[in-house]
Structure 1
Amino acid sequence: MRESETSPDEQVVSLLAPEFEEDPIGALARLRERSPLVRVGFPGGKRVWLMTRSEEIRKVVSDPRFVVDASRVPGHEGPSVTEQVLATLDLSDKLRDYFGVNLMLEDGESHVRLRRFLAPAFTVRRIEALRPRIEEISASLLDVLDRKGSGDLLHEYAAPLTSAVICELIGIDEADQPQIRKWMGEYANAEADFTTSLLSMCEHIEELIGRRRARPANDMISTLVQAVDTDGVRLSEADIISLAVTLVNAAYHTMNDFILNAVLVLEDNPAQLSLLRAHPQGLPHALEELMRIAPSVANAGTRYATQDLELAGVSICQGDALTGSIRSANFDPRYFPRPEQCDIQRVQKPGEGHLSFGTGPHRCIGAALANLEGEVAIDHLMIQRDSLEVTVSRGELTYHDPLPGGAPRLLTSLPVRI
């Protein structure tokens, strides 16, 4: 396998540079106008092509010449980008043994097979049936905050809401959910011993699988334990653990971050907030704009070129790794006129909306659930009430240090007055 070599005079961008922390939108805009593809450095010394524009990301994620499983590249040798990132985390053999197939790292029929196992939990009817329960949880959490008059919107609202929703869907008992939140909070914190937390999470899912084998319930774990594919093959225990942990992680952290940042966006755009309050029926449409401006995922999953080709005038060699900046794509003026402006009535052509859920075969399977949670949260926080106020300045907001691999910075808290 031959990869593009970095010439001595080629500029390699670090996404951990101060400019991407101080002004990420501006820094990405400068990259985007410089070139549709730029070289960036990842942990382990890997050089990756970063796609900065929406058009190239859309093409690559739907092009079968690019794969997410590096071993499918002819002549593949050495670790993938994901494997290099994992190597920096020093994961124990016991923890590695818990993980089977990964939905995000599979291609073709293997990927389709995994999505088919998960599909029953994420049908439109199944997700919409969750609305009353999500509204109940949200209202209960806000009742507590109302009585206090103030609190932390992350730890007292967003985190317990999102964890309860995904835990109930998967089958994690209510009594265990506070511990799950603690583990997931540590998992996203580079300063915490998150490998121990991740191991504890895997052990908990393993024990839950055993209980559901003995006594099935109406939850996703029970469905996965009993499911058989068209070839009569069941998922292994490691596969189920891997799928469950991946879903909890994705649903918990991304939605926490979105809810907090959507509140900040609406506070920063009072005219748009007033418009939304005057026309609350437009919330589902407004949510698309909020998802565009406040994406919780920094980069698209890494793809590998299976052959030499040209992309946007750049020569890509077989084996080259590419990723796309979701935030840059969501602010691409070629798709979004005046992208820095929040416009809850923005109209997009079909197939040209935000990329916060990805697109193509790997589009987020939980997108409908995320939209529903977002609708309920924004409705309860910002439409049904007009008193919520963030009590710290934007400069006083604090973030966790990012984990390796280009993960987004996550807010550590969001103090509010109700």
Structure 2
Amino acid sequence: MAEPIVSLLDPEFEDDPVGALARLRERAPLARIGFPGGPPVWLITRGEEIRAALSDPRFVMDLGKVPGHQGMSIAEELLASLDLSEEIVDYSKSNLQAQDGENHARLRRFVASAFTVRRIEALRPRIEEISARLVDAFARKGSGDLLVEYATPLTCAVICELVGIDEADQPQVRTWMDEYTSADVDFTTSIRGMFEYLRTLIARRRTEPADDMISALVQASDEDGDRLSEAEVISMVAVLVNAAYHSTAHFIPSAVLTLLDNPDQLALLRARPEALPHAVHELMRIASPIPTAGPRYATEDLEFVGVTVRKGDALTGSLMSANYDPRVFPEPERCDVERAVRRGEGHLAFGAGPHRCLGARLANLEGEIALDHLLLRRDSLEITVSRDKLRYRELIPAGARMFTAFPVSL
């Protein structure tokens, strides 16, 4: 009998994603899901199994690594549907997230040093400065959209400064990033604009190096003397900016909403602000805007959690379902900012395995500073619409769940 196909576009997943995923998770650790116009995909629903799959070398990001594969991957089908030049498609295929094995490890080594604990903690004073300036300006205005007035300008400034995008160019980069997730704009223009800008900037850094990541990437070589190609540098920077900008910008209002809806937990943090760094982990579990991992492809026929998975089948892990899995988190729907978890069993908001998010420490630090400035040092922030008026937009097939607006007074 064929496995029934579940659509994550069904109303139950929009109206109550946590509850709908809980029902799916208890039914099976692996479920067949489908999207319009695409092939069925295996959705892994449980935390332990997702962690195992994300670390299993038999599952790869690049469909081209599957012996005898035919057809296009999910990402290639999306690219083919867009009016993009062959050059930009090549940039997209060169990105860190699309690689496996040694090539992925090689690309990751070039940027890993920028995301060490010491390097990220050294950014704290500058992030504090940017955040304080934005909060003060927002407070003087009195009310507005937390995304527009605070969260996106904060995350844009931080990641742009880290990689080396000049301050004068940051408003345009922010516009391109916003258009990329807008349903009202032809975002292919934004993609072309971003890649062309990065190509020009990288050429300038080759002749006029600065103290930034782009200059370091242009000049760096690994232990074998290998250098990054221009396509690799462009795609690396584009991926870092896109991921750091959207995920953290939309985590901030989600975390604010979570704490306002759990006033006892907010009161605890106001009484003990030193607990905030630990609390951010619980808030990442609950409020991450990235509900699914990128698709992997089986390189061979195999048995996974008792199910036959065929060579070339696509699998993705529901990070949201994993983060609410009662097998890992007792009373998972309860926000507990003092929650203790065993080592190796924390949330999966940043994924797991070789592709675990490089920017996890940076996202945690930005979230900590944002919540401190918005909710702990002040007690006046209020959402100015009823909860049922808050709207999300879903990015399919990426699955990101983002607020369209977050109106507040401060």
Shared topology, TM-score over 0.5?
Answer: yes
Q: Deviations over 1:112-140 (max 9, x none)?
A: 10011111211211111110000000000
- Measure, in 2, the Cα distance between the counterparts of 1:128 and 1:406: 30
Give the CA deviation at 1:231.
Answer: 2.0
For structure 1, which segment, 184-193 or 327-336, has the greater mean C-alpha deviation from structure 2 after superposition? 184-193
- Measure, in 1, the Cα distance between the counterparts of 2:36 and 2:201: 34
| SS at 2:297 equivalent | strand
Asked if 2 retains the 8 angstrom alpha-carbon contact of 1:67 and 1:305, the reply is: yes
Give the CA deviation at 1:382.
Answer: 0.9
Select 2:56's aligned residue among 63, 78, 81: 63
Give the CA deviation at 1:407.
Answer: 2.0
- Measure, in 1, the Cα distance between the counterparts of 2:41 and 2:341: 30
| SS at 1:234 equivalent | coil
Structure 1 equivalent of residue 71 of structure 2? 78
Amino acid at match of 1:117: F
- Measure, in 2, the Cα distance between the counterparts of 1:85 and 1:34: 31
- Measure, in 1, the Cα distance between the counterparts of 2:53 and 2:33: 17
Structure 1 equivalent of residue 357 of structure 2? 364
Aligned counterparts, 1:170-319, within 5 A:
170-319=163-312
Structure 1 equivalent of residue 10 of structure 2? 17
Select 2:325's aligned residue among 325, 328, 332: 332
Asked if 2 retains the 8 angstrom alpha-carbon contact of 1:399 and 1:410, the reply is: yes
Unpaired segments ≥5 residues, structure 2: none
**TM-score, normalising length from structure 2?**
0.97
| SS at 2:70 equivalent | coil
Q: Deviations over 1:262-304 (max 9, x none)?
A: 0000000000100111111111110010000011212112111
Give the CA deviation at 1:82.
Answer: 1.7
Does residue 407 of the first structure (1) align with residue 399 of the second (2)?
yes
- Measure, in 1, the Cα distance between the counterparts of 2:177 and 2:100: 27
| Percent of matched pairs sharing the same residue | 64
**TM-score, normalising length from structure 1?**
0.95
- Measure, in 2, the Cα distance between the counterparts of 1:210 and 1:91: 22
Asked if 2 retains the 8 angstrom alpha-carbon contact of 1:50 and 1:324, the reply is: yes
| SS at 1:341 equivalent | coil
Give the CA deviation at 1:103.
Answer: 0.8
- Measure, in 2, the Cα distance between the counterparts of 1:195 and 1:151: 29
Structure 2 equivalent of residue 48 of structure 1? 41
Amino acid at match of 2:409: R
| SS at 1:410 equivalent | strand
Asked if 2 retains the 8 angstrom alpha-carbon contact of 1:390 and 1:417, the reply is: yes
Give the CA deviation at 1:86.
Answer: 2.6
Unpaired segments ≥5 residues, structure 1: 1-6
Asked if 1 retains the 8 angstrom alpha-carbon contact of 2:289 and 2:401, the reply is: no
Give the CA deviation at 1:169.
Answer: 0.5
- Measure, in 1, the Cα distance between the counterparts of 2:395 and 2:81: 10
Give the CA deviation at 1:97.
Answer: 4.3
For structure 1, which segment, 193-202 or 87-96, has the greater mean C-alpha deviation from structure 2 after superposition? 87-96
| SS at 2:97 equivalent | helix
| SS at 1:196 equivalent | helix
| SS at 1:45 equivalent | coil
**Paired residues, number:** 410
| SS at 2:31 equivalent | strand
